[in-house]
């Protein structure tokens, strides 16, 4: 192999290597939430009385705080753990007794949520808001 061929091969290898760092799928940031959906969720946090039991400053109350919960792992009553993702949050909003976080009482939110009549769209908006905290 000639000296020029080696240089070309090395240059080509560097370009291929760098292209993986610059544009691969793993470097793609996650999609951001719609500002309108987040604003709707923030408004619902107040109007649907979520703030009565869930803080946004990290302080636990009657229910877990929403601050920093998205993406974290929580222990559930019964000993299992779960990563807090969109599906878990939505399920917890619509069916609060399905998976209760350890240290919090089952049944408190279930009776309350029945009077609120939260739609799927509203649950999605609340999830979008919680993800920003």
CATH of 34-131, one of 1.10.760.10, 1.10.10.10, 2.60.260.20, 1.10.10.410: 1.10.760.10
Query: Model's pTM, two decimal places?
Result: 0.74
Q: Please report, for the chain, the start and end positions of each structural domain, with discontinuous segments joined by +.
A: 1-30, 34-131
What confidence tens digit (pLDDT) does each residue in 113-126 have?
778 889 999 999 99
What confidence tens digit (pLDDT) does each residue in 61-98 have?
999 999 999 999 999 999 999 999 999 999 999 999 99
Among 33, 36, 51, which Cα is nearest to 116's?
51
* 16 pLDDT more than 60: no
In this prediction, residue 127 carries a pLDDT of 98
- Dist. CA 89–CA 47, nearest whole Å: 18
């Amino acid at each position: 192999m000639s000296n020029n061929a080696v240089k070309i091969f090395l240059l080509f290898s560097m370009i291929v290597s760098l292209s993986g760092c610059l544009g691969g799928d793993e470097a793609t940031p996650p999609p951001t939430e719609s500002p309108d959906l987040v604003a709707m969720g923030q408004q619902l946090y107040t109007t649907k009385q979520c703030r009565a039991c869930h803080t946004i400053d990290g302080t636990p109350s009657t229910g877990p705080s929403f601050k920093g919960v998205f993406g974290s792992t929580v222990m559930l009553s019964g000993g299992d753990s779960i990563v807090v993702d969109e599906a878990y949050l939505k399920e917890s909003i619509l069916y609060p007794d399905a998976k209760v976080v350890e240290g919090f009482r089952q049944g408190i939110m279930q009776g309350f949520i029945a009077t609120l009549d939260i739609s799927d769209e509203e649950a999605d908006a609340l999830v979008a808001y919680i993800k920003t905290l």
